[in-house]
Amino acid sequence: MENATTAGAGGVLDTIATERLIGDRLCAEHFDDLCQMHSDPTVMATLAGVRSHDWTRVFLQKNLEHWDRYGFGLWVFRDRATGQFVGRAGLRHYQWDGNADVELAYALMSEFWGQGLAPEIAQASLRVGFQPLGIPSIVCFTLPTNRASQRVMEKVGFQYERDFVHADLPHVFYRLTTAQWSGLEARSVIKRHN
């Protein structure tokens, strides 16, 4: 199964699946997983540093409220075979410089880096955003020094748009539109059938 979604109560997409991972809608029971991630200095080096359990509690509450308000948000991903916590990813509204966008956000535990899982998670999240949700464009951003994350963005089709400042730090800002994504999906289907 390449990608599947399950609609939960109210039409939200509670579960998404990739070839190697299962993503479940963020819930209160994921607090310990998030604390594990947010206390790992390697993972958090490009995400504003290690965070406290109290900060994680606020982060979790804000993201639960996002799900309640918009019907989508972050998923917690686990390895299909082992059930091990891999990371979190998904879509959320983001306000910047008076603009409103939907952001693709992702973070993986460091032991899963370099295995192609970030693009796998990103593609699954984008598929949900562009197909059932009908979002016209999705943005993604990172520090200019985070080349690994930029490679993920570029691999799934994001186009560099501009530099900007976020959290008082320079960032690079990327965007992917429905039309661009549809073209990439069409080429991918053709390549798989040839």
Question: CA 177 to CA 65: how far, in whole Å?
Answer: 26
Q: What is the pTM of this model?
A: 0.83
Alpha carbon of 109 to those of 5, 35, 77, 157: distances in Å? Answer: 23, 12, 10, 23
Question: What's the mean pLDDT in 164-184?
Answer: 86
Kindly report, residue by residue over 3-25, the tens digit of the pLDDT.
Answer: 444 444 344 488 999 999 999 99
Kindly report, residue by residue over 68-122, the tens digit of the pLDDT.
Answer: 999 999 999 999 999 999 999 999 998 877 788 999 998 888 888 888 999 999 9
Residue ranges in 39-146 assigned as alpha helix (H): 41-44, 53-70, 117-130
Alpha carbon of 99 to those of 13, 73, 102, 115: distances in Å? Answer: 26, 19, 10, 34
Alpha carbon of 106 to those of 44, 183, 188, 190: distances in Å? Answer: 12, 23, 22, 28
Q: How far apart are the first and last CA of the chain?
A: 20
Q: Cβ neighbours of residue 49 under 8 Å, at least 6 residues apart?
A: 41
